[in-house]
Amino acid sequence: MASTTLRPPATSPVTREHRGSVLVVTVDNAPVNALSADVRRGLADAIEAAQADSAVAAVLLVGAGRTFIAGADIREFGKPPELPSLPDVCNRIEASAKPVVATIHGTALGGGLEIALAAHYRIAVPSAKLGLPEVSLGLIPGAGGTQRTPRLVGVAAALDLMLSGRPVDASQALALGLIDRLGQSEDALGEGLAYALALLAEGALPRRTRDARAALADRDAQRAALDAARKDVTTKQRGLFSPGKIVDAVEASLEQPFDKGLRLERELFLQCIDSPQRAGLIHAFFAEREVLKAPETRAAKPRAIASAGIVGGGTMGAGIAVAMLDAGLQVTMVERDEASLERGRANVAKVYDALVAKGRMSADARAQVLSRFGGSTDYAAFAQTDLVVEAVFEDMAVKKAVFAELDRVCKRGAVLATNTSYLDIDEIAASVSRPGDVLGLHFFSPANIMKLLEIVVPAQVSADVVATGFELAKKCAKVPVRAGVCDGFIGNRILAVYRQAADHMMEDGASPYQIDRALREFGFPMGPFQVSDLAGGDIGWATRKRRAATRDPRVRYVQIADRLCERGWFGQKTGRGYYLYPAGARTGSEDPQVLAIVDAERRRAGITPRSFDDEEIVRRYMAAMINEGANVVHQRIALRPLDVDVVFLSGYGFPRHRGGPMKYADMVGLPEVLADIRKFAKEDPLFWQPSPLLVELVGRGADFDSLNKS
Ligand code: 3HC
Ligand code: NAI
């Protein structure tokens, strides 16, 4: 077959090549072939050139490298738009007088799939994934996706794709009618060419998705799917802006002519682009990728990790063991005696048993995973282990004794990690002969489920050990955030402060139930008092008692939690805490006795209760969180504000559409946050000390985001 390459505008990321009568149009815009302005121009030019070129009978669209097209260029959102627009490019593709075929490998997401839907025929290789993930960025498909998808697959399947944002694989796409053919091999170009030639041989003509009718024929079924989705959106995706707009746009595909539907889609898409939720969600998307770029991951290569050791088989040790097993590692657990080891093993097995019972794992797969899991009461079992995580009691003496053992038995070059929540990791590191190998790996409970992993970096650790922590996170599908050593690192340190703000409000007059409700309304899945009940009040109580002797007497100390703990009301595990959990219920009900205790404590403290509205509750809670977040950045415990955001998004249920506490602060406006803090400081200047970083940023008119870019 004759082949000539034309590379119009010298630097265009879209190339054209004649393969016989087929013009192969390749998008080459690494890493994911996003549809930036010059890609859009290149595609539009290629389609135009194909019309004018008598040697071309059909056009084949293909992606270079690892993927087809992953969507619009997210970095362009919020900037002045450049022509041609993506909807326009899609319309030009669809209007082509010569058949256009899209051949898909890797991912066809968002605008990438919309390009394919505007083409006349679609083929995908077996491993390809296709989806419309715009909703996860606070958007709706904005280049015809809301109008073309229902015309191909019907309203129910289209809404499912758009509202879940989940991609489907190529065979599902074929079954849905999203593509016309499944390739036999992974060679997208070869498969696409063969398909294009077969279509030409059949005399196939352009077949425009806008004209497709069959999938919408049963109007009653479409209407029912639409109504069901509208109802679902108001409950399951409550508070989110774009899901309702998706339903509106899809409704137009059913009720309106195509061009009118497109116009409405554009209007709704632009509303979403302008929404703060879009800004928050896109910030979250990039922040989760930026956290991977810590100085040590740039400077050093990770050490090889094939095997892991865990000391302690309690809540955390067992969860960490599961996370490591799921990552494919060989895992050895060491406990202090046989009985504890048995308990540890059982804790691990229990996780897989539950999966088997729910039909989410086969018994064989369970056996396979557990064949990589061993246990011992002898540290010598760690002699050849690449990385060990200690998860024993939160007690410096116990931790040091464990590290002395690890120092004795572990091979040179093994990474020695602690899962401590609060203890000084510099002190632990200084107690062994190889402090360069010691770091903190702070998992969150349940460790096999929670995404966040704080990589805590003590002073003497070597860069490749830190890089190994990040590599381990990747293997375990965790979101790693680099943190410095301090009391509570990033997350728990900030939590301690805003949790106090919540306690102050409770003592001053807000009920714990009102506070929880206000914060759920803000977007948290649970309020702080529900979280206490879930985690168990006893842990915090033990810490408070330990610290009682050294507590600054000037600091306001709310005793309500202590009164509950003294009664043995630790939360869900004891059937009551702030809430009542009759007969093991997971959702609590309000408890008048708790309110009576709160009242009594107010009287004891000499406080006349006042009323709070929900807005004030959120303002105080957020101001406390933001102010301590600023301190954590100021002291370089977090590298950038975005690291704080990712900690809260992936470890503390912070509503993703608000972008994280620091992004939220930027959106509210730092002067406003600082003014709140100064106002609150009039009542309690010790608690409400404005962070020097916040003061500085307000002073020079800058925001937190300006520090993300440095
Ligand atoms: N625009 C700009 N940059 C993008 C991008 C996009 N759509 N998608 C990914 N990138 C960047 C990432 O930020 C990252 O940059 P970095 O290396 O500088 O940090 C790089 O590409 C590689 O991305 P990942 O690290 O995420 O690579 P993976 O291989 O793990 O994942 C992916 C690839 C599945 C494509 C994933 O990047 C992804 O999900 N991207 C977003 C897809 C998406 O949401 N598309 C819809 C966009 S909205 C749209 O199309 C609107 C339209 O309807 C009008
Ligand atoms: P846990 O009490 O459930 O488990 C501790 C385990 O360590 C017990 O099984 C005990 O037998 C074992 N152990 C004690 N001394 C040992 C020794 N010398 N050698 C071997 N095993 C020994 O405690 P949990 O909750 O799992 O906490 C462990 C660590 O993880 C603590 O440092 C804690 O601060 C930290 N952490 C806890 C979180 C939580 O939510 N529970 C979250 C993040 C960190």
Q: For residues 509-520, give the mean pLDDT.
A: 98
Rounded distance, CA 478 to CA 472, Å?
A: 8
What is the tens place of the pLDDT at every residue in 345-384?
999 999 999 999 999 999 999 999 999 999 999 999 999 9
Please list the residue range(s) of the chain that carry CATH number 1.10.1040.50. 492-708
User: In percent, how much of the chain has pLDDT > 90?
Assistant: 95
CB 73 within 8 A of CB 34: yes
What is the tens place of the pLDDT at every residue in 36-73?
999 999 999 999 999 999 999 999 999 999 999 999 99
Residue 39: CA count within 13 A, CB half-sphere: 26
Ligand number, closest to the Cα atom of 317? 2
CA dihedral sign of residues 663, 666, 671, 676: negative
What is the tens place of the pLDDT at every residue in 624-678?
999 999 999 999 999 999 999 999 999 999 999 999 999 999 999 999 999 999 9
Instruction: Count CB-CB contacts under 10 A for residue 568.
Output: 12
Please list the residue range(s) of the chain that carry CATH number 3.40.50.720. 305-487
Q: For residues 332-353, give the mean pLDDT.
A: 97
Place of tokens 């998860």: 391
Question: Which pLDDT score, from 0 to 100, does residue 331 have?
Answer: 98
Q: For residues 506-528, give the mean pLDDT.
A: 97
Amino acid residing at 282: I
Q: List residues near ligand 2 (CB under 6 A).
A: 311-317, 334-336, 340, 344, 391-394, 398, 402, 419-421, 443-445
Tell me the pLDDT band of 546, cut-offs 50, 70 and 90: confident
Q: Which of 27, 32, 43, 88 to mutate to test the pocket of ligand 1 (most atoms within 8 A of CB)?
A: 32
Nearest-CA residue for ligand 2 atom 43 is: 444
Is residue 4's pLDDT more than 50?
Answer: no
Instruction: Count CB-CB contacts under 10 A for residue 227.
Output: 12
Q: For residues 584-604, give the mean pLDDT.
A: 95
Judged by phi (left if over 0) then psi (alpha if -120 to 50, else beta), residue 442 lies in: beta
Whole-number Å distance, alpha carbon 573 to ligand 2 midpoint, is 18
CA angle (474, 477, 478) in 5-degree steps: 85
Nearest-CA residue for ligand 2 atom 19 is: 336
Is residue 2's pLDDT more than 70?
Answer: no
Question: Which pLDDT score, from 0 to 100, does residue 1 have?
Answer: 47
Is residue 441's pLDDT more than 50?
Answer: yes
Q: For residues 219-246, give the mean pLDDT.
A: 95
Question: Which pLDDT score, from 0 to 100, does residue 10 have?
Answer: 64
Question: Which pLDDT score, from 0 to 100, does residue 78 have?
Answer: 81
Q: Which of 389, 421, 448, 541 to mutate to test the pocket of ligand 2 (most atoms within 8 A of CB)?
A: 421
Ligand number, closest to the Cα atom of 290? 1
Rounded distance, CA 371 to CA 256, Å?
A: 59
Question: Which pLDDT score, from 0 to 100, does residue 583 have?
Answer: 86
What is this structure's pTM? 0.95
Of the options 3.30.70.990, 1.10.1040.50, 1.10.3720.10, 1.20.1050.10, the CATH number for the domain spanning 492-708: 1.10.1040.50
Question: Which pLDDT score, from 0 to 100, does residue 8 have?
Answer: 55
DSSP 8-state symbol, 386: S
| β-pair partners for 121 | 101
What is the chain's percent helix, strand, coil content, to nearest 5? 55, 15, 35
User: In percent, how much of the chain has pLDDT > 70?
Assistant: 98
Q: List residues near ligand 1 (CB under 6 A).
A: 31-32, 34, 70-75, 86, 107, 109-111, 114, 133-134, 137, 139, 141-143, 145, 286, 289
Nearest-CA residue for ligand 1 atom 35 is: 70
Query: What is the enclosing helix (H) or strand (E) of 579?
Result: strand 579-580
Closest atom, ligand 1, to C-alpha of 141: 53
| Residue 134 appears among annotated catalytic residues | yes
Whole-number Å distance, alpha carbon 286 to ligand 1 midpoint, is 9
| Residue 186 appears among annotated catalytic residues | no
Non-local CB neighbours of 470 within 8 Å, separated by 6+ positions = 292, 294, 296, 297, 302, 455, 480
Is residue 586's pLDDT more than 90?
Answer: no
CATH superfamily of 305-487: NAD(P)-binding Rossmann-like Domain (3.40.50.720)
Helix ranges (H only) for 509-640 are 512-522, 528-535, 537-547, 560-566, 592-604, 614-634
Kindly report which listed range (14-18, 122-126, 393-397, 652-656) carries the lowest average pLDDT score.
393-397
What is the tens place of the pLDDT at every residue in 265-304?
999 999 999 999 999 999 999 999 999 999 999 999 999 9
Q: What is the 3-state secondary structure (H, E, C) of 208-232?
A: CHHHCCHHHCCHHHHHHHHHHHHHH
For the domain covering 3-273, report its CATH number. Answer: 3.90.226.10
